[in-house]
Structure 1
Amino acid sequence: MPELRTERLLLRAWQPADLAPWAAMNADPEVRRYFPEVLTREQSEASVARFQADLDERGWGWWAVEVRATGEFIGFTGLDPVDEDMPFTGVEAGWRLTRSAWGHGYATEAARAALTFGFTTLGLPEIVAVTTATNLRSQAVMRRLGMACDPADDFDDPDVPDGPLRRCVVYRISAGTALS
């Protein structure tokens, strides 16, 4: 499984030591603000097992992210096939970082590495990113990555109850745009 390195970050396999900070992150209501609920430790542990299994099987997926200078685990970034119940297909880029990592440009830096991997190593023609219509911080990252949103792609997530988190926006970037 490849590791991805940026100037400041390492995107890598999940390690047992990641579980406690990952679970704490997923129990933080502010980190989970744009999700229907916080996660239990058991749910966080199950997600890590799924993430690592995907990395082992495919060689790509949701990588754990650490700060190279300190070795601190700060969240995840990566690529994953779009869920079958979504109104579009393809591969999705995503990220989630602990609050202490917000505002340092880490999400953009890590996501850019994942996009580069997707286009150059996997040969993907396009990568999408999805978030709630109210998550302006993630949308700002998407725009910094060169992604564009078409309101015709907006949709209501069938897995989210009615309310402000149900409406989602889709950002897209093509290989030609990203590599030019």
Structure 2
Amino acid sequence: MSDPTPRLIYRRPKQADLPTVFAIFSDPQTNQFNPAGPMTDIAQAEALLDRWLQHWTTHGYGWWAISSPQAPEKILGFAGIAAHDYLGKPVINLGYRFAVEAWGHGYATEAAQTALTHAFEHLGLAEVFGLVRPDHIASIRVLEKIGMQRFGDLDDVPGKAPSLVFRIQTHDA
């Protein structure tokens, strides 16, 4: 688990986070660039939370629930790294999703940078990928700000433009 930054607290998700997972992942605004669209029922959020918790059990890391020191009980969003399968192989994927009221404060950039630091310095991973829709300019900027570079495309959404694949490697990789 990561040390808290001055602005954000990171912790492993727990079952009690289910309503917040659903609130954030069912919001049409937070899913504007998600080809699957927003979640439509609590069972979808429960399945996602279960995958996160299983990932933590299996790998010892995963997505965090993120809050501020001023209101540690109020989750601003979720972010982290997790094993994922694309490009025809297993990769470590960076992801983040914040509540609309948390947008515009640099939280995604800060959380993404914290996830990379955790991946490289604490877990000893060699590379991390990020997958983003080509029209999601804000998310592309986050990936670029943290030093990720365009690596390729992934034709993952039938009938739509390919997603952009970003990658960053440790300096000694």
TM-score scaled by length of structure 1: 0.86
Rounded to whole Å, the distance in 2 between the matches of 1:131 and 1:87 is: 17
Which stretch shows the higher mean deviation, 5-14 or 93-102? 5-14
Give the equivalent residue in structure 1 for 2:17: 18
Q: Give the length in aligned residue pairs.
A: 170
The reply on whether 1:75 has 2:77 as its aligned counterpart is yes
Rounded to whole Å, the distance in 2 between the matches of 1:33 and 1:54 is: 26
- Cα shift at 1:176: 0.8
Specify whether residues 49 and 4 from structure 1 end up closer, same or farther in structure 2 by C-alpha distance, changes over 3 A only.
Answer: farther
Q: Decide whether the 8 Å contact of 1:3 with 1:13 is kept in 2.
A: no
- Cα shift at 1:50: 1.3
More strand by share: 2
The reply on whether 1:55 has 2:52 as its aligned counterpart is no
Matched AA of 2:94:
A
Matched AA of 2:23:
A
| SS, match of residue 129 in structure 2 | strand
- Cα shift at 1:47: 0.7
- Cα shift at 1:127: 1.0
What is the percent sequence identity of the aligned residues?
Answer: 33
Give the equivalent residue in structure 1 for 2:159: 162
Cα deviation, 1:86-138, whole Å, max 9, x if unaligned, reads: 34542111111110111001011111111001001111111111111111111
Specify whether residues 4 and 57 from structure 1 end up closer, same or farther in structure 2 by C-alpha distance, changes over 3 A only.
Answer: farther
Give the equivalent residue in structure 2 for 1:6: 5
Give the equivalent residue in structure 1 for 2:127: 126
Give the equivalent residue in structure 2 for 1:174: 169
Q: Decide whether the 8 Å contact of 2:31 with 2:37 is kept in 1.
A: yes
Matched AA of 2:169:
S
Unaligned 5+ segments in structure 1 are none
Rounded to whole Å, the distance in 2 between the matches of 1:30 and 1:41 is: 18
Q: Decide whether the 8 Å contact of 2:153 with 2:165 is kept in 1.
A: yes
Rounded to whole Å, the distance in 1 between the matches of 2:60 and 2:140 is: 27
- For 1:23-172, what aligned pairs fall within 5 Å after superposition? 23-35=22-34, 36-39=36-39, 40-71=41-72, 72-83=74-85, 85-87=86-88, 89-150=90-151, 153-157=152-156, 160-163=157-160, 167-172=162-167
Cα deviation, 1:42-92, whole Å, max 9, x if unaligned, reads: 101111111012112211011111122211201111111121x53454211
Cα RMSD (Å) of the superposition? 1.9
Cα deviation, 1:1-41, whole Å, max 9, x if unaligned, reads: x2441111112111343221221111111101111221121
Q: Decide whether the 8 Å contact of 1:76 with 1:97 is kept in 2.
A: yes
TM-score scaled by length of structure 2: 0.90
Rounded to whole Å, the distance in 2 between the matches of 1:4 and 1:43 is: 30
Specify whether residues 44 and 89 from structure 1 end up closer, same or farther in structure 2 by C-alpha distance, changes over 3 A only.
Answer: same
